[in-house]
Chain A
Amino acid sequence: MSRQTSRFDAKKVNAEFLTLTYGALVTQMLRDFENVEDVNKQLERIGYNMGMRLIEDFLARTQAPRCLEMRETADRIQQAFRIYLNVQPSISNWSPALDEFSLIFDSNPLTEFVELPQDLTNLRYSSIFSGCIRGALEMVQLEVQCWFAQDQLKGDNVTELRVKFIRRLEDAIPAGED
C-alpha cells in the first residue's frame, strides 16, 4: 500500500481529498461507536499513531536538530503544519513560564465542508491534530498535553489548539547497566 502512495508528493494531493476522506472516517466512527466521547478518544489515538510515524518523515525532510526550548518546538510545529497541510497557524498566548502556547488557525482544512449537527456538540472533530502533536513530540522526548480551546465548528472565530509542556522524557539506559 505504501508503494502507491509514496509516489505522490504530499503537496500534490488535492486538499479536498484529505478533507473528504477524514470526513468519511469520522462519520463511520460515529456510526460504529454509540458514544461521542469514544469517538473523540479514538480520533486522538489514531492521531497519536500517525504522529509517531510522521515525526520521522518530518525529521528526515527538515533535518531539524533537537529543540532546546518550547519556542523552537512551537516554530517546528508551525512548520510541520505548513509542510503537511499547507496552512500556517499563528503562535500566541504564551504562558508566563513559556511552557504553554496556542496555535491559532484562521481556517482548518479538515473542517472545510463540515457543519456540526446540534446533537454532536461534544464531538471534537479535529481531535486527530492533538493526538498527532502529542505522538510526534513524545518521539522526541517531550511529553505534552494538547487540547482545543476554541473551535470554529462551535461558533468561535478561530480554531485554537493549546499545547502544554509537561516534562522531558529521559533517554533509556541499555539493559544490564545499573
Chain B
Amino acid sequence: MTVFNLYIFDKFGTLLYYTEWNRTKKSGMTKEEEAKLTYGMLYSIKSFVAKISPHDPREGFLYYKTNRYALHYLETPSGLKFVLNTDTAALNVKELLQLMYAKVWVEYVVRDPLWTPGTPVTSELFQTKLDEFIKQSSIFGLRSI
C-alpha cells in the first residue's frame, strides 16, 4: 500500500500546500496549473454529487477510485479541503485525514503566528511533521504498484 500525493486547498481554491511521496507519473504541467485543474474537478464533483444524489447527501463527496489509484477528499465546515491520493487498497483514509487535520494542520499551521490564513504554507516544521505523520500511518507501506 502506498500514498502518492496530497493537496490542501482553502475555501477560495488557493493551493495552501502540495507534497508528494511515491508519485511516478507527472502530469506535465506546472504545479499551479495542476492544482487549478484538480480544484475545478473537485468543485464540479461536489456540486454534481449534491445535485444528483437521490437522498439528502449528508457528507457529500468522499472519494473516487480508478483502477490504479483512489482520491480521498475531506472538506471541513470551514471550507478547507484535504485531497489525498493513495493506491486502491488503502483503508480508513477518511479517519487518517481527519486526524491529520487535528494533529498536524491545526497544531503546526493554525497555531503558527507567522502564518497568515489564506496563504500557502512554508513552515518547515509543518513539512517535517506531516511527512512523519504520513510515513507512520498504516497505509504508507512499501510501494506495490
Contacts and interface: CB of A to CB of B under 8 A. Distances in A.
A160 B105 CA distance: 34
B83 to A, nearest CB: 14
B106 interface: yes
Contacts of B111: 2, 5-6, 53, 57
B79 A139 contact: yes
B113 interface: yes
A57 B110 contact: yes
Interface residues of B, number: 27
A175 B13 contact: yes
Contact of B11 (A1, A64, A171, A175): A171
A56 B110 CA distance: 7
Contact of A60 (B59, B101, B117): B101
Contacts of A177: 40, 43
Contact of B77 (A3, A64, A175): A64
Contacts, number: 63
A21 to B, nearest CB: 15
A67 B77 CA distance: 9
B107 interface: yes
Nearest to A67: B77
A172 interface: yes
| Listed residue (A67, A174, A176) with the most chain B CB atoms within 10 angstroms of its CB | A174
B77 A172 contact: no
B16 to A, nearest CB: 12
Contacts of B5: none
Given A2-B111, A174-B36, A141 B79 contact: yes
A108 B76 CA distance: 30
Contacts of B113: 1-2
Contacts of A140: 77-79
Interface in A36-88: 52-53, 55-57, 59-61, 63-67
A139 B78 contact: yes
A2 B111 CA distance: 6
Contact of A56 (B12, B39, B40, B105): B105
Contacts of A173: 43
B13 A174 contact: yes
Contacts of A5: 111
A7 to B, nearest CB: 11
Interface in B71-121: 76-80, 98, 101-102, 105-108, 110-113, 117
B78 A59 contact: yes
Interface in A128-158: 139-141
Interface of B: 11-13, 36, 39-40, 43, 58-59, 76-80, 98, 101-102, 105-108, 110-113, 117, 125
Ordered nearest first, which 8 A-B pairs have the shortest CB separation? Answer: A60-B102, A2-B111, A66-B77, A56-B110, A139-B78, A60-B106, A174-B13, A172-B12
Interface of A: 1-3, 5-6, 52-53, 55-57, 59-61, 63-67, 139-141, 171-177
